Structure 1
Amino acid sequence: MAFTRATGKHRRPSRMHRTTARAAGVAALATTGVIATVAATPALAAEPSVEDTGLTPVVSMGDSVAEQIDAQAAAQEQAALQKAAEQAARKKAAEQAKKAAELAKKEREAKERAAREAERKRLNAFVAPIAHSYVSTGYKTGGSLWSSGSHTGIDFHAASGTVVHAVGTGTVVSTGWGGSYGNQIVIRMADGMYTQYGHLSSIGVSVGQKVTPGQQIGLSGATGNVTGPHLHFEARTTSEYGSDIDPVAYLRNHGVNV
């Protein structure tokens, strides 16, 4: 027997038509996986799953199943939101850690630059060869005491055994007996000039040794051609006698108050 229904826009759809449409909607939901997990629930099993009409098997779904589907969808949405929030938090933490690391790096580099600058200034600084002393005989002072007819350096007042300092950064190029200079030390300075320290009672450095400003290199004395203990100091363009320049001007040009 064929089942038909009259056509017309004012005719209410038959129950078979409504049931078939609802079954199609349920089938569509089932394909998306939304109600796959609720099909075996007690609530679903308690309801008639198939209408025995002899026509088309139809799944019937009550309000409780719809509520479960809504709850599952809400839970999935909440999980997605939570996951997104966790990812955002991890990204923010990583950005903050990166900024902190960059800041720490900049601070470390600034400290290193400051330390290098301080060391550079220290190495470029000059000091007097005898602390808290004064020049007792000036440069180019004339007299028979000097073979050249004039003083080739300056004398610093100092008792025997007074500490003698390297006036700046340099390398020792000569030590030992220097004739009329007595025990002497010659240092090649970092600026290419040479300094000489004479009449020492003791030598505390050796050739090739690096020295820094203010470092003790020996003790003053009265060795060589002298009339009393003092330190003879020269500034030279070479390590040899006769290349002397004004030692007062040399020290003052490097910030030493002489």
Structure 2
Amino acid sequence: MAFTRAAGKHRRPGRMHRTTTRAAGVAALATTGVIGTLAAPALASEPVPEQTGLTPVITIGDSIAEQIDAQAAAQRQAAEDAEAERKAQEAARERAAEAAEQAAKEAHEAKERAARAAERKLLNTYVAPISSSYVSTAYRASSGLWSSGTHTGIDFHAASGTSVHAVGAGTVVEAGWGGAYGNQVVVKMHDGTYTQYGHLSSIGVSVGQSVTPGQQIAVSGSTGNVTGPHLHFEARTGAEYGTDIDPVAYLRSHGVSV
């Protein structure tokens, strides 16, 4: 009697099936780390699988995966640290720039305050027109020497060539010959009043020039209608003759001892 085998029952696995099964086993061993213990000759003795058109899946052990993860984490941390450092440096630069700007602003404001304070001090400073002198002829003294019959200013004792100073800050409005006053200088003061300096031997300023308290503007002499060298000083509400006010009271009101 003849015997026949049922189809597919005891048939030897085909080459494709064997190769695929072997690849799956290798992959499983690699996942568990067991493949690392296999001897190279054992693997080398296996025949090269035929080309199937399938992409093989390769897995790695846990220790290698952990190393890769750790390396990636370290790289991410390094990048984050570098970005944080960049931002910190940028913030520091911005703070330094703001601090420098604030310091410059404060320095400028301090300079302006100092300048304003100096200007106020300058405007409020008055001195005598002749240093270490005294009034030799009083205001409103009567005499036929003056056309009005009275003295419109005060005379300071001074030899020819004595320095004459601006009593305060102002602007020269007249500088030259003044008739009976001889050589004269008239200064418009910062408060709108005027001061006059007469009988000068020479003049050291010009019209339009700004003067400061104590600045030399001329030297005394005996030009004009005089009997001897001295300084004629007037305080006025206007630039012209006839607007005189008491010069002693004027100087004292600005802190000058006369």
TM-score, normalised to structure 1, is 0.72
What is the aligned partner in structure 2 of residue 235 from structure 1?
235
What is the aligned partner in structure 1 of residue 62 from structure 2?
63
Rounded to whole Å, the distance in 1 between the matches of 2:209 and 2:89 is 60
Deviation (angstroms), 1:239: 1.6
1:83 is aligned to 2:95: no
Moved more, 155-164 or 135-144: 135-144
Rounded to whole Å, the distance in 1 between the matches of 2:92 and 2:177 is 73
What is the aligned partner in structure 2 of residue 160 from structure 1?
160
CA offset digits 1:183-237 (Å, max 9, x no partner): 2222222211111111111122222333222222111011222222110000111
User: Aligned AA for 2:116?
Assistant: R
Gaps of 5+ in 1: 2-15, 27-45
What is the aligned partner in structure 2 of residue 246 from structure 1?
246
What is the aligned partner in structure 1 of residue 185 from structure 2?
185
Deviation (angstroms), 1:107: 2.2
Work out the number of aligned pairs and report it.
215
**Residues 1-258 of structure 1: pairs in structure 2 closer than 5 A:** 57-86=56-85, 87-258=87-258
Q: Percent identity?
A: 69
SS of 1:235's partner is strand
What is the aligned partner in structure 1 of residue 13 from structure 2?
none
TM-score, normalised to structure 2, is 0.72
Q: For the structure 1 residues 210 and 57, does the alpha-carbon distance in structure 2 shift closer, same or farther, using more than 3 Å as the test?
A: closer
Q: For the structure 1 residues 243 and 65, does the alpha-carbon distance in structure 2 shift closer, same or farther, using more than 3 Å as the test?
A: same
Rounded to whole Å, the distance in 1 between the matches of 2:62 and 2:96 is 49
Rounded to whole Å, the distance in 2 between the matches of 1:181 and 1:88 is 77
Deviation (angstroms), 1:56: 9.4
User: Aligned AA for 1:239?
Assistant: A
The Cα RMSD (Å) is: 2.9
What is the aligned partner in structure 1 of residue 12 from structure 2?
none
Rounded to whole Å, the distance in 2 between the matches of 1:74 and 1:148 is 106
SS of 2:195's partner is strand
User: Aligned AA for 2:76?
Assistant: E
